[in-house]
Chain A
Amino acid sequence: MIRRLSGVLIALTLLSTAAQAADTGTKEAAAKGATAKEAAAQKAVPRSTATSVPIPSASPVAWTAEAAPYHGSRDNITWGGEGELRFGYDVTAGVSDPSWFSVGRVNGFMEAKLSSRLRLRGQASYDHVPDDFTLERAELQATFGRTHEVHAGIFLVPLGRTNLSHDAAAYEFWERSLVATQILGVPNAQLGAGMSGTGSWSHTTPFRYEVDLVTGFDDGVIMDASGGTRIPAGRNNYGDQNGLPAAVARFAIQPGRGEVGVAIQSGPYNQTHIAGGEVDGIRFVHVLAADGIAHAIGLELATEAAAALIDIPPGLEGLYAERQWGASLEATRTLRAPLFHAWRGTSLSGGLRAETVDLDAGLPGDSRTRVAASLNLRPQPTSIVRFGWYYEWKRDRFDNLTPLAGLTLTAASYF
């Protein structure tokens, strides 16, 4: 069974590779001069968000939509997509769960250049984490000055690097980090408006910023939360219930090939009135995120951490968390590129990740700690087949331990 499904995954990836290889002839200009190492360096660049995301990936190389090799393009409109298939075998405390085979993510995106300064961007995704379709972008962007822009509509809030850059094909692991999925709520796209841009200090240290007013998290943070406060349950794609905006901002500097970013989102999440009657005062959720990327001794190191403060109604105190935090550290490296001399653009890479989240800092339990390893084959920079393993120590509210582990085989590709 595993063998058959892995065959399907690899076949899908190779099919995608072949189709895209046929397209490379028309993209020679883009590809020409790019060595295999450069291609490998660009492996994590997410094309769907590259043009609009301030810090798109571990790599400081920013692809533009026009230069990206696998977009379709006609007149002033470019488009593309990505998909991910996932196969997994999970074990809980020595008892194997039913194996699963699922779609991880299907994503279509487009960009229309309305004028030299005006762009319309759209991106819709099915993502397995919310297990729902999400409009990740439906925004109008206007450039002013040389490096600044204003935007309005639905867009990915800049709450940490992973939310801005979470394309499956750009990622080295079978799953995003716990801090991203359990606290930051990736993918998290909200309705709002704001501005972003780039600059530099002393012409040596570039920086990027983004400041937005968005609808913010809604009362799902507690109303749809199962087993305590769950911020991702309050991500709201289309609107809000309380009519009060949340502020979100991110600032990142890029010394050398690295990056250090901090972000904050703060705003009310609850409903103060139900059926016309006042039921509560305004309550805030504050989420602080920090992320960093560094390159050292041949490794690409990436970290993301987050802390959240949630104002809980008095009737729920003690059961619903008022403080949460989490952190992850990833180390990846390209082990061989190209994998074979005759197969340019291929690479073999590996990754290790350690992470933890404490979903209720007021309790000894309600936490998850996980280690994961991944061995990845990229038949081309924009496709990946990953073999992964993870082991997790999951603690309930009593601090009772349940060990979880699994093997995964996943494949993702832009198309």
Chain B
Amino acid sequence: MFHSWRSQSRIAFCAAGLVLAALAIVGCSNLLTTEPAPGERFDQPLAGLSNGELGDFQDGHTQFRKAFTINEGLGPIFNNVSCASCHSGDGRGVAGNTLTRFSRGTDLDYAEGGPQLQDKAVPGAAPERLPSGVDVSYRLPPPVFGVGLIEAITDSAILAGEDAGDANADGISGRANMVVPASYLPSDDPGAGALRVGRFGRKASVSSLIQQVTEAYHQDMGITSTYRPTENVNPAAPAAPGADPASEPEVSEAKISDIAQYMRMLAPPSPGEMSPARERGQTLFAGAHCTGCHTPTMHTGWHEIEALRNRDVQLYSDLLLHDMGDALADNRPDGSADGHEWRTAPLWGLRIAREFLGGALLLLHDGRAHSVDEAVRLHGGEAAAARDAYLAMPVDDKSALVDFVESR
């Protein structure tokens, strides 16, 4: 009996091996994983990159995912351990990663730990606590794909969309957030200069990807760099000596550059297939004058990376500041943006956003809207007319418009 069992098990084991071998021959690619189709993820490179650029992309990909340890310099106060820890799959973040920005009016409140609350701390340091009476703004980490294309859009192209005085009387008066770039930026950085059009961040308060990465390292991770060599500390409770054992700067400017270059080369996902229903949604989107801010296409100018140069970009944003009304106001200025103004959020990537957010959809600057419909209903200010036009639509039209937006 026992020998019979042994014999049978040997046969079964051999059979399993043969089946495995057969599977390996027949479906070798499946047994060794399959590559997602182009345009189906947030972390894929732009088409048309050179081999050297693809190598840079890979270097930056690694650095973007590098989780810093405390002994490598994380902290003393910080929010998260890596770039990828905030930007899910290189897309937007989740509620648990929401950053808290605070200020007192136009005062960024450095004396009390502003402008960002660091709620994590290494042993020997204390996390910051939100001071009472400050103006607070919660910020969901934004997607990082497509930012190279945004960088390649010229200042003049963005400024051409301005209508600060609402000369066309459509109720929409977008204006650019003119910012003074950080003094540490290399002179050849695309975002450097005396006064530039801000385009990155929820209030378009940054003009340079290098600056964006440097500040994220410094503020979000507590990682000093050649550009920002001094540790960010909790002014209310200084860290114990040696709590952050790494010497400054904790990363070189080359590492910052690796990540900026990686982000430049991240492709936006492909939009979904157009169908008759979506074409109707597109028409309704334009008819409600959503396109007054969510400009379907902008055009890039010259860029060092050829794949970014002189091409149409379907981001559905004019990259300008708009008054979005009281419901969305954070009453906290950021650069020249006031507490009611927000940069028009690009709509690209919504088609697959849920895949990287556990099936949910988190929209608006703080992720409070869980559907396009909910987000539209929260629009106000300059977008009030477009919102009302949407609300007046029959249910089928609303669905078609939402389906179109969610297919971008």
Contact = CB atoms under 8 A, between A and B. Distances in A.
A and B interact physically:
yes
A170 to B, nearest CB: 21
B356 A391 contact: no
A92 B123 CA distance: 35
17 contacts: A94-B29, A222-B70, A223-B69, A225-B69, A226-B66, A275-B240, A275-B241, A279-B240, A280-B123, A298-B6, A298-B13, A315-B126, A316-B120, A316-B121, A375-B17, A400-B355, A405-B33
B108 to A, nearest CB: 23
B31 A389 contact: yes
B89 A400 contact: yes
Interface residues of A, number: 51
Contact of A274 (B17, B20, B33, B242): B242
A216 interface: no
A315 B124 CA distance: 9
Contacts of A333: 9-10, 13
B106 interface: no
B394 interface: no
Interface residues of B, number: 50
Interface of A: 91-96, 219-220, 222-228, 233, 270-271, 274-275, 277, 279-280, 297-299, 313-316, 318-319, 333, 335, 350, 352, 364, 373, 375, 389, 391, 396-400, 403-407
A315 B125 contact: yes
Residue among A271, A319, A399 with most chain B CB within 10 A: A319
Interface stretch (B77-85, B183-191, B272-280): B77-85
Given A274-B243, A315-B120, A405 B32 contact: yes
A400 B10 contact: no
Contact of A93 (B9, B36, B88, B126): B36
A271 B35 CA distance: 45
A406 to B, nearest CB: 7
B16 interface: yes
Given A222-B70, A277-B241, A396-B84, A335 B10 contact: yes
Given A277-B241, A350-B17, A398-B356, A315 B127 contact: yes
B31 A315 contact: no
Contacts of B29: 94
Residue among A225, A233, A364 with most chain B CB within 10 A: A225
A318 B69 contact: no
A274 B242 CA distance: 6
A299 B69 CA distance: 43
Contact of B33 (A315, A398, A400, A403): A403
Contacts of A375: 17
B230 interface: no
A223 B125 CA distance: 13
Contact of A318 (B32, B96, B241): B96
Given A94-B35, A279-B123, A315-B125, A298 B243 contact: no
Contacts of B7: 298
Given A227-B85, A274-B242, A275-B242, A373 B20 contact: yes
A326 to B, nearest CB: 20
B8 A297 contact: yes
B130 interface: no
A333 B16 CA distance: 12
A223 B70 contact: yes
A219 B122 CA distance: 12
B68 interface: yes
B386 to A, nearest CB: 32
B33 A92 contact: yes
Nearest to B28: A407
Nearest to B122: A315
A82 B69 CA distance: 34
B123 A93 contact: no
